[in-house]
Amino acid sequence: MSILHQLRTNDMVNIDQFLQLVIQSSTDNIHYCYRQHDTYYFWIDQKSTRGVDISFGHEKIEIKNTTLSNPTDLLLTNILVEILLQMVDGTIVNEAEEYVALPIFTEEIIREICSIDAHTLLRLSQTNEEVTIYGPIRKTYFGKSMYKRLVPYENQLFVLAEKIEEVILKVQYQLPDYEYGNVLEVQYDAHPLVMKLLTNKTNCIVDKYDYILIEGKGKAPLMITNAVLNKIQPESWSLVDAYTMVAPRVTTSEWNAFVTRAAEFDQFENFKQKKADS
């Protein structure tokens, strides 16, 4: 669920000037990028979970906040709207066409929004294996496995919101500077499958894939899923959310033990046969 506001105005906005004023407006490290169709995306480095979209149209400017925007994002929205209203004459309306007083997001409103979003994510995670949240840098994954970590806070919704924010911020900004490694795309049944090849040659970050290939002792790689990996991972690897895993190199003995565990769940031969039959 998104929160949409519009700035109604007859004035033209000098977008370059607006962007310059945004950068100068705060000591925080505000970033922006152009998306498409006169839409710009703004976020604060190290602090934003979701960012803010602003679309410039004829006689209206749309401001969009997405689910699980954190207080940083909502306060950033206030800053962006304030700058726009310094440049043009206009009024702010919500989706119900009601006029909105400034600031759009007060402390009380922010707490309410964050609490509602946290409760929504908790319920979605209770019934879904995967709930994907797109952040400024990368995806964060929630779902049934994360539900177990979050449910103790279900009666303290704002605390729950803070715990969710911690997970998103860690995935966005606090992972080590590892590569994503070898990622392959395989055509299967007219649909491409994305696969990750895991070796013990480099440190890497593991994302969500259709299958994970593991370099083993034989010619063919072992093939497992993220769900299996999450159960048999080497002890020194850490699962940050439902699927994102920090996977540093391990000792040869640790790697061989991991390969042995993975072999019990290998799906390579079944996959090869299904591909041959398709």
pLDDT digits (tens, 9 = 90+) for 103-140: 999 999 999 999 999 999 999 999 999 999 999 999 99
What Å distances lie between residue 31 and 41, 154, 202, 209, CA to CA?
Answer: 8, 33, 31, 29
pTM here?
0.94
Please tell me the predicted confidence (pLDDT) of residue 196: 96
Given a cut of 80, whether residue 26 has pLDDT beyond it is: no
Look over the chain and give the mean of its residue pLDDT values, rounded to a whole number: 95
Dig out the tokens for 175 from the structure: 């992972």
Average pLDDT over residues 36-60: 96
Tell me: pLDDT of 27 over 80: no
Tens digits of residue pLDDT in 219-266: 889 999 999 999 999 999 999 999 999 999 999 999 999 999 999 999
The per-residue pLDDT for range 192-201, each reduced to its tens digit, is 999 999 999 9
Q: Is it the case that residue 188 has pLDDT exceeding 90?
A: no
Nearest CA to 5 among 52, 64, 88, 51? 64
| pLDDT band at residue 216 using 50, 70 and 90 as cut-offs | confident
Virtual torsion, Cα 145, 131, 196, 34, nearest 10 deg: -140
Of 40-54, 134-148, 181-195, the least confident: 181-195
Q: How far apart (Å, rounded) are the C-alpha atoms in residues 138 and 49?
A: 10
Q: At what angle do helices 71-87 and 107-127 cross, to 10 degrees?
A: 130
Q: Which residues contact 130 (CB under 8 A, 6 or more apart)?
A: 141, 142, 143, 208, 242, 243
Cα–Cα nearest to 260, from 211, 218, 201 = 218
One-letter amino acid for residue 48 of the chain = S
Least trusted range by pLDDT, from 62-76, 144-158, 213-227: 213-227
- From residue 142, alpha-carbon distances to 125, 183, 227, 234 in Å are 6, 22, 13, 22
Structure tokens at 38: 């006169």
